[in-house]
Homo-oligomer: A and B are copies of this chain.
Amino acid sequence: MKPVKVGICGLGTVGGGTFNVLKRNAEEIARRAGRGIEVAQIATRQPNPKCDTTGTPVTDDVFDVINNPEIDIVVELIGGYTLARELVLRAIDNGKHVVTANKALIAVHGNELFAKAREKGVIVAFEASVAGGIPVIKAIREGLAGNRINWVAGIINGTGNFILTEMREKGRAFADVLKEAQALGYAEADPTFDVEGIDAAHKLTILASIAFGIPLQFDKAYTEGIGQLTTADVNYAEALGYRIKHLGVARRTEAGIELRVHPTLIPADRLIANVNGVMNAVMVNGDAVGSTLYYGAGAGMEPTASAVVADLVDVARALTTDPHNRVPHLAFQPDSLSDHPILPIAACESAYYLRIQAKDHPGVLAQVATILSERGINIESIMQKEVEEHDGLVPVILVTHRVVEQRIDDAIAALEALDDVADKVVRIRVEQLN
């Protein structure tokens, strides 16, 4: 068969990696795909010093690629929402298939893009948009297609995981590690997307959609960052047998879908609690398969390129298939999506770690216990530390059983109103993930 012609838009980290992998592994890829996959054109504003593009036409206008009649598949790697959206829509309009690593684009504009792609009988593939090189979208969408998925939970932001790993292993403060991550190039100059959980929420939105058969609903995801975490809580969690991870959790309940990104205590003996540094991992629990886990590099030049190239091979195979019998973009047939609602965070259910800074008076513990029990909140374990010298306060640390969040909100308000409780109550969600 004739080689498939690919146009790469954006020759930055992922674009450069994609170009290099396609070139280096050309023979291996053709042995699998049954045909070559060739880069016919590249659009980039500046050359990538890591790529030798000799012999490949380069333009500085992405629309040259979109309009190039020779090109079968457009690889969108420019990032952002606005130009990327326009680019992909125009590519689809021109009857081209699209492969993208752009999680923000898919999470925010995916419903629109997929509808348009169906209309035109083309594919928009996005494996690289979640967890870099880990083929987790394929695993959920195809590998677990026999299951009713119960929940998905993932460490899907490498920057955040690097920071938490350093905080735990070296007792360093958040701000200190963040500075290092920025120096190492793991974190952006503006780290908001990473540390506030927005990047993770983009990815979680995509995972939830393909797991549960619901439309993409990024605007309904709850996000809480890791900037408020203290080494004190990291250490207390450790003493209780937990690790703190910045986790994306999507769970199907009868009332609706939970879709939330927040710091989470996980039992230290879980595999996912031991995923360290910039690595990613996603757990998927299905009714037939039970819990599964997928681990690997969640970002980086070649790991992300690995996913882009896998999509290119898939699309190359699908070029001759019946468009009505392909794997649907969001795993479920577009006319079979569910309108099961996304739950507000107050209606989500979890266990909770609470740290209460109490004055060292008799009876405080009884007051705390009463407030919780009146709201039907059961205590799983409790730990009272020595008086801390500098302020005369006693940290009371407890882990509750699972309960709906609204009750914890109420309890925290009541706790904070007590005369014997100083400061805000620290609340971190707890997931067992078994």
Contacts and interface: CB of A to CB of B under 8 A. Distances in A.
A139 interface: yes
Contacts of A394: none
A287 interface: yes
Contacts of A31: 213, 332-333, 336
A305 B289 CA distance: 8
B34 A324 contact: yes
Contacts of A148: 24-25, 28
Given A271-B271, A292-B133, A317-B325, A34 B138 contact: no
Interface string A4-41: 00000000000001000110110011111110000000
A142 B302 contact: no
Contact of A142 (B29, B294, B314): B314
Given A34-B325, A321-B325, A17 B139 contact: no
A136 to B, nearest CB: 9
Nearest to A337: B31
A62 interface: no
A321 B324 contact: no
Contacts of A275: 271
Interface in A93-146: 127, 133-135, 138-139, 142-146
Contacts of A32: 145, 213, 328, 331-333
Tell which of A24, A28, A328 has the most Cβ of chain B within 10 Å: A28
A312 interface: yes
Contacts of A145: 29, 32-33, 309-310, 313-314
Interface string A313-353: 11001011110111110011100100000000000000000
Interface string A181-218: 00000000000000000000000000000000100000
B289 A292 contact: no
Contact of A25 (B34, B143, B288, B332): B288
Contacts of A293: 293-296
Interface residues of A, number: 68
Nearest to A143: B135
A288 B21 contact: yes
A308 interface: yes
A310 B143 contact: yes
Interface in A223-262: none
A288 to B, nearest CB: 4
A25 B135 contact: no
A310 B21 contact: no
A392 interface: no
Nearest to A303: B289
Nearest to A22: B146
A132 to B, nearest CB: 8
Given A302-B288, A303-B288, A332-B31, A142 B297 contact: no
B306 A289 contact: yes
A208 to B, nearest CB: 15
A286 interface: yes
Given A25-B288, A135-B139, A296-B292, A146 B314 contact: no
A25 to B, nearest CB: 5
B133 A288 contact: yes
A147 interface: yes
Contact of A288 (B143, B295, B305): B305
Nearest to A293: B295
Contact of A296 (B287, B290, B306, B324): B290
6 contacts: A24-B287, A34-B328, A127-B143, A146-B312, A271-B274, A289-B307
Given A34-B324, A133-B290, A293-B294, 13 more contacts: A1-B325, A22-B146, A25-B287, A29-B145, A32-B332, A144-B306, A144-B310, A271-B274, A288-B306, A290-B303, A293-B295, A320-B322, A321-B321
A-B interface, 4 closest residue pairs, ranked by CB to CB distance from nearest: A135-B143, A146-B309, A292-B296, A133-B289
